[in-house]
Chains A and B, each alone.
Chain A
Amino acid sequence: MAFNSYVFLFVFLPIVVAGYYLLGRLFTSQKPALAWLVGASLVFYASLGPGYLLVLLGSVLMNYLVVRAILGQPEGSRGRRLALTAGIVANLLLLGFYKYTGFLAENVNALFGTDFQAPTATYPVGLSFYTFIQIGFLLDAYVGQFGRMTLLRYALFGTFFPYITAGPLVRHDEMASQLDSPIRARTGLMPIAVGATMFGMGLFKKVVLADSVAPYVATLFNTASEGGSIGTASAWVGALAYTFELYFDFSGYSDMAIGLGYMLGLRLPVNFNSPLRATSLVDFWRRWHMTMVRFFTSHVYTPMTAGIVRRTIRRRVPEPVRLLLVLCLPVFVTFVLVGFWHGAGWGFIISGAIHGVGLSVNLTWRELRARLRLPSIPGVMGWALMMLPLVASLVFLRAADAGSAMSVLAAMVGVGATGPAPSVFYGTTTVLGLVFVPAIAWIAVLAAIALGVPRNTQQIMARYDVALPSLPSPEPTPRESWRWKPSVRWALAMAVVAGIGLVFVAGPSPFLYYRF
């Protein structure tokens, strides 16, 4: 029962919303309504796979006990630090057991000629996400920035169905502060209209836009893993198709999650801000999967950078070494971890390392530019310099293994590219006597939407502050055009968008981020 299924849309969601609104109005206490949401979330998660529920309940209960242990110790004490460390290790062990043991066994066996067998447990969808949400919570609790907590509130925070399967990676304080105000004040007809509109746009992105190119992406990467020959143009078409597929899939998912939260009176943090319109890699990472970037910035990148600066500031470290230590090392380490978080495999690590190197170059250039007062790179060139490492890294993210990723990249630069042209590789269609390649036509459509539509979904819904801020970014200039309001014209436009989405739901395909 994913967001893009009829059971979710026409059975689960209406019942959950109706029950929640009713309980929130029948009782002055929030408890029955919140308990209802916890119950609904458990039903949702249990429907995704057998045995998943036990893992989720185990994780939430364990973290609740760890948080109690952390808060039971005085600030700055050894005991508090120990409880935090033990909690983080326990979370990583749980994640590691389901996600990384196979990879570990494979590499140990290759290195030492041993024959370890990893346990064959199915990976519970969303485990990476709710594990990191809760690790973030432990770290916030350790420094005392987490808002008011009770067992019921914590249970909701740890299981809330809009975000447990693929984010956004929320923080406890931003959820807790909303729960402080009564449900009556946060819900109503308008939140349902606004949330449903956001959800409808996300559904369209996922089932119409992202899923349209999925078959071509599969053609390319399946050919690569079977060792088939790939032409240069075909490799580019497939790699670009995946870039747009992943963008529309995950930003569509995020819009749906944010829309669901809004209907239930809980604003979730924004996850995407037109990333493909960025003109540098640094800019891109302020706009793509923003809540994950926020997590890694707060808990890995910043502490590491500050630690290094604190150590080097009094010593006379030569400038090039300082640049390397302070600018490049933390961002490289951070993004290798980001890559590894996405999945257990060398392809994922390489994918992260590509961003680590690209960001190091980008940050060093910014530093030199500021110092030497050099002119900035023109936007179009900056965009191309961002897209190249991005597309290359996504090839590693999608390919079955690092070897087939290398063969796609080799084909892209023309090495051993003997395969057929896109018209043969992906097929052609004839419409009104015109022969065209649908794979290329779809990429053109998706590029036009990603780059050309003047406002993204949360800007369209800006009048209603549909999402919480996640990463600091410059405020866009307020403009009245392209802003949703409750009017007949917008209702018709959204009915068309959501209606087309609903038609395409017929063949639900899983969200790409369920893999990660």
Chain B
Amino acid sequence: MALANVFEKILEEPADSFNDDSSPDTILSWTSLRNVTLLVEIEQEFGIRFSNAEMTTMRSFGDIRTALEKKGVAVS
């Protein structure tokens, strides 16, 4: 599953509505509860684990994409 599709599944917004600047400030359904759910779902989908520091500092789609790439996950 592409990264945007995980976002679509959890945040209930169409996958093509996300870009690197998408964040809790721009997307109403991106609440704190869904933020954690989203990150844990991404962990399971891509078989990685975010550190506490990463979980605290990532604030946008772009941040999450960059963090995944650093872990060697190819994000389409």
Binding site for B on A (CB under 8 A): 140, 143, 145, 294, 297-299, 302-303, 305-306, 309-310, 313, 323, 326-327, 363, 366-367, 370-371, 373, 472, 474
Contacts and interface: CB of A to CB of B under 8 A. Distances in A.
B62 to A, nearest CB: 12
A472 B57 contact: yes
A298 B53 CA distance: 6
B2 interface: no
A326 B39 CA distance: 14
Contact of B56 (A297, A363, A370): A297
Contacts of B36: 302, 305-306, 309, 326
16 contacts: A143-B52, A297-B56, A298-B53, A302-B55, A305-B36, A306-B36, A306-B39, A306-B50, A306-B55, A309-B36, A310-B40, A326-B33, A363-B31, A366-B31, A367-B33, A367-B34
Interface in B36-56: 36-37, 39-41, 43-44, 50-53, 55-56
A306 B52 contact: yes
A326 B44 CA distance: 18
Nearest to B24: A472
Nearest to B50: A306
Contacts of B69: none
A474 B37 contact: no
B31 A309 contact: no
Contacts, number: 57
A370 B32 contact: no
Counting chain B CB atoms within 10 Å of each CB, the highest count among A143, A302, A305, A474 belongs to A302
Given A298-B56, A306-B36, A309-B37, 4 more contacts: A302-B55, A306-B55, A373-B28, A474-B25
B29 interface: yes
Interface of B: 25, 28-34, 36-37, 39-41, 43-44, 50-53, 55-57, 59
Given A310-B40, A313-B40, A299 B33 contact: no
A28 to B, nearest CB: 34
Contacts of A371: 29
Contacts of A313: 37, 40-41, 44
Given A143-B51, A306-B40, A327 B56 contact: no
Contacts of A323: 33
Given A298-B52, A302-B52, A370 B28 contact: yes
B73 to A, nearest CB: 18
A327 B37 contact: no
A281 to B, nearest CB: 13
Given A143-B53, A303-B52, A327 B59 contact: no
A371 B41 CA distance: 19
A298 B50 CA distance: 12
Contacts of A305: 36
Nearest to B25: A474
A294 B56 CA distance: 8
Contacts of A366: 31-32
A140 B56 contact: no
Nearest to A371: B29
Given A145-B53, A370-B28, A472-B59, A363 B40 contact: no
Ordered nearest first, which 10 A-B pairs have the shortest CB separation? Answer: A472-B59, A298-B56, A370-B29, A309-B40, A309-B36, A302-B55, A303-B52, A305-B36, A302-B56, A370-B31
Nearest to A173: B53
Nearest to A472: B59
Nearest to B41: A313
Contacts of B59: 472
Contacts of B50: 306
Contacts of B53: 140, 143, 145, 298
B17 to A, nearest CB: 15
A135 B53 CA distance: 14
Contacts of A363: 31-33
A145 B57 CA distance: 13
A242 B69 CA distance: 49
Contacts of A297: 56
A240 to B, nearest CB: 30
Contacts of B51: 143, 145
B54 to A, nearest CB: 9
